Amino acid sequence: MEKGTAKRDRTAPSERLEAIPPYMFAELERGIEEKREQGIDVISLGIGDPDTPSFRYIVEAMREAVGDPSTHKYPSNRGRPEFREAFADFYLRRFGVEIDPVNEVIPAIGAKECIYNLCFAFLDPGDVALASDPGYPVYTGGPVLAGAEAQLLPLLPSLGFAPDLDGIPEERLEAARLIFINYPNNPTGAVVPDGFFERAVELAREHQILVVHDNAYSETTYDGYIAPSFLATPGAKEVGVEVFSLSKGFNMTGWRCAAILGNAEAIRTYWRLKTNVDSGLFEAVQLAGAAALRGPRKHVEEMCSIYQRRRDLVVDALRTIGVEVEAPKGTVYVWAPVPRGQTSTSFAALVLDKAAVVVSPGSMYGPSGEGFFRISLTTPDELLSEAVERLRVHLAP
């Protein structure tokens, strides 16, 4: 008998890792692969990853930054002054929010890293993070991996896809140290309902909770809607932080470029954690990120008009096949109810089977996503038109 057989297998994952469901896109990718192996030409509308390149001026800034040897060393987790100042200027210009570039902003290696590490910076076993449901998976996986718990906050269609902050059980509020919110919202496409950020500030004050607003989509909005920063809410900086990602608004998903802004003490704690975990964001990426924020607005606006056109195409097609859907004012997703008699997964399987199109079942984003599916608008026009045509032909009632 091999010594130590009473122990778990050497390659067995930790119990914490076992406790979280497999990463949702991994599941989705397996389904697509199977079809493709059968020779079927599948169009995926599953993943929100911009199909158009990063803007040229950002690539040029990167080219220059990479040629500068001062960027080649280990970065500090505090970030370069150019990065911090570009963020402070952007927040003032874009959101009317004053940010102290010395204490109130540092880089993150993407919003995903930031949210995950915030869990390790602030949560202990027995603590709770309040997490939007449906929501970006790290809001629930992060707390579990940190040995804490996630308390799901159902996003209610009747409240404009906001959680009922007054309905959270008292003992969970007592254990809660973090609340994750996100508007414009993935996956529902909802924009922040009036008064919601203000109520979140109150709740945070009443219960010693740190608000984490995940601002991944403020630059991707439609029909003239301009998304606010959470930090523009009176009192927000006293109780919260905002994670701003350049991934979607600036077509930079691969660059891993984001920042955390707001409460200086909370940012210091996050920085302390990071000094133990990673060695910061490549400084050339920081300089390119700074250039992105200082660049002309027209590129962001062009992207919004591309997505708005695609959104209308998808919404029209869904309506013709009998799906009652509202056109979202933000994000790169259309969130729609599945037809009567279907579940999220049965409908996604039906669409894959009949039309060879991948949509994401809403239940992948949490139990309150059941009864919905999500379509991503980050697919080139011709492919999206083809997918929409397939839906019309194969799924018409």
Ligand X SMILES: Cc1ncc(COP(=O)(O)O)c(C=O)c1O
Site for ligand X, rule CB under 6 A: 48, 110-112, 136, 182, 186, 214, 216, 245, 247, 253, 258
Q: Are 347 and 318 a contacting pair, CB within 8 Å?
A: no
Q: In angstroms, what is the minimal distance from the CB of 354 to ligand X?
A: 27
Q: Decide: helix, strand or coil at residue 340.
A: coil
Instruction: Give the residue closest to ligand X by C-beta.
Output: 110
What are residue 180's phi and psi, to 5 degrees?
-100, 120
Helix axes 81-90, 283-294, angle to 10 degrees: 30
Whichever of 111 and 176 has its CB closer to ligand X, that residue is 111
Report how far apart the first and last C-alpha atoms of the chain are (Å, whole number): 62
Whichever of 61 and 258 has its CB closer to ligand X, that residue is 258
Whichever of 215 and 355 has its CB closer to ligand X, that residue is 215
Q: In angstroms, what is the minimal distance from the CB of 168 to ligand X?
A: 21
Q: In angstroms, what is the minimal distance from the CB of 48 to ligand X?
A: 5
Q: In angstroms, what is the minimal distance from the CB of 212 to ligand X?
A: 11
Whichever of 261 and 395 has its CB closer to ligand X, that residue is 261
Secondary-structure breakdown of the chain: helix, strand, coil percentages, each rounded to the nearest 5: 45, 15, 40
Whichever of 96 and 254 has its CB closer to ligand X, that residue is 254
Q: What is the 3-state secondary structure (H, E, C) of 55-91?
A: CHHHHHHHHHHHCCHHHCCCCCCCCCHHHHHHHHHHH
Q: Are 134 and 182 a contacting pair, CB within 8 Å?
A: no
Q: In angstroms, what is the minimal distance from the CB of 10 to ligand X?
A: 31
Q: In angstroms, what is the minimal distance from the CB of 182 to ligand X?
A: 5
Query: Can you say whether the dihedral through the CA atoms of 152, 157, 162, 166 is positive or negative?
Result: negative
Ramachandran assignment for 216, one of left (phi > 0), alpha (psi -120 to 50 degrees), beta (any other): alpha
Whichever of 218 and 263 has its CB closer to ligand X, that residue is 218
